[in-house]
Amino acid sequence: MQLPRPRGPVSERVFAEMVTPDPKAVALEPFARTHDVLADDDLQIALWALYELSFRGFEDVDADHEWSPGLLATRRVLEEAFEAALRDLTEDAVERASQEHGRTAEQVLAVIEDVDDPRLARYLQREATEEQYREFLVHRSIYHLKESDPHAWAIPRLDGGPKVALAELQYDEFGGGRPDRLHSTLFARALEGAGLDPSYGAYVDVVPALTLATNNAMSFFGLHRRLRGAIMGHLAAFESTSSLPCRRYSGGAARLGFDSRVNEYFDEHVEADAVHEQLAVRTICQQLVDQDPTLQRDVLLGASTCVRLDALASAQMLGAWHQGLSSLLGTPQEEVA
């Protein structure tokens, strides 16, 4: 994959520095607290590319630049603004769940149930056009082509029951011993089945800031050991809000007559994620906080971030479609296929 297109002065500067690090570069100015970080395309694409250095990297960036002090300093400025925005987004849900429920598992379920918005899944099931369904797959491709990778960063940071349960869950996500069953591979086949490009990163340039933010949240939580509670809370929310929507997505793909490879991806998740939900909420999150009570609020931060950011991204997608527009950047709907 090549570096994506910059979307403003911050990403322009970051991408130039990725190609040629400048030891004398002046640190990025902190962002004002009022800045709308989650909707800022320039900031989100810069952060996404910085994180990508720790996943698959770019052909036009030296692999060693993952550890460039200048790039890490820039990433820190972006992350400080991003973390503040995520904490603002989730604060009330975290507080309410902490007050109203005693056990971690119940608190996690409370922040998940705080957002109950099946509109996107229903729309895809019953009304979406082929083009809109393809757009949905394009948004989802940014994560699903590296499905579960950000959560895997937590494995060496856990111990005992949570580690064993995470390994059990990840064993399924990573194919259960069969490369052709890797969930990221199943999703690549779904993209192909829908007539889309299955290559990693193919659609980064056309997804808006909120879609990038949903991905950046996982990378941010996953890459920082201090936030191991948040990445596990995120996992719990992700798995708990997957099974039912996947049934609807599969129904939508069948209604539109897509190739069976699209259904196969979602059908795989209807049953698997019902099991994963139990593992993630009851075993991983509950036992993690039992082992280390200081992680309680971060577990809820992660869970609430997952559902609230997803709700924002879903609302933006539906909002565009209801106005007869594409939900992607600079791409008329007919060009998506």
Measured from the CB atom, is 71 or 190 closer to Fe ion? 190
Cβ–Cβ < 8 Å for 215, 199: no
CB of 269 to Fe ion, least distance (A): 6
**Number of Cβ within a 10 Å radius of residue 96:** 16
Rounded Cα distance between 120 and 304, Å, is: 18
CB of 225 to Fe ion, least distance (A): 23
Tell me the β-bridge partners of 174.
182
- State the number of binding residues for Fe ion (CB under 5 A): 5
CB of 172 to Fe ion, least distance (A): 6
CA 35 centroid distance within chain: 21
CB of 217 to Fe ion, least distance (A): 17
User: Which residue from 273, 277, 298, 310 is in contact with Fe ion, where contact means CB under 5 A?
Assistant: 273
Measured from the CB atom, is 149 or 239 closer to Fe ion? 239
Cβ–Cβ < 8 Å for 61, 93: no
Which residues touch 137 (CB under 8 Å, ≥6 apart)?
190, 191, 194, 196, 262
CB of 183 to Fe ion, least distance (A): 4
Measured from the CB atom, is 79 or 277 closer to Fe ion? 277
Options 81-89, 104-112, 154-162, 268-276: segment touching Fe ion (CB under 5 A): 268-276
Token pair 């460039």 is found at 68
Closest CA to 303 of 174, 113, 81, 173: 113
Contact between 276 and Fe ion by CB under 5 A: the answer reads yes
Options 36-44, 52-60, 65-73, 266-274: segment touching Fe ion (CB under 5 A): 266-274
Residue nearest to Fe ion (CB): 183
CB of 280 to Fe ion, least distance (A): 8
Contact flags string 149-178 toward Fe ion, x per CB under 5 A? ------------------------x-----
Rounded Cα distance between 111 and 211, Å, is: 21
Options 86-94, 134-142, 245-253, 265-273: segment touching Fe ion (CB under 5 A): 265-273
User: Which two three-digit tokens encode residue 154?
Assistant: 């937590």
Site for Fe ion in 81-140 (CB under 5 A): none
Measured from the CB atom, is 11 or 219 closer to Fe ion? 219
User: Which residue from 139, 146, 151, 183 is in contact with Fe ion, where contact means CB under 5 A?
Assistant: 183
Options 55-63, 179-187, 284-292, 325-333: segment touching Fe ion (CB under 5 A): 179-187
CB of 231 to Fe ion, least distance (A): 14
Closest CA to 41 of 329, 333, 334, 335: 329
- What does the H/E/C string look like for 88-144? HHHHHHHHHHHHHCCCHHHHHHHHHHCCCCCHHHHHHHHCCCHHHHHHHHHHHHHHH
Question: Which residues would be at the binding site for Fe ion (CB under 5 A)?
Answer: 173, 183, 239, 273, 276
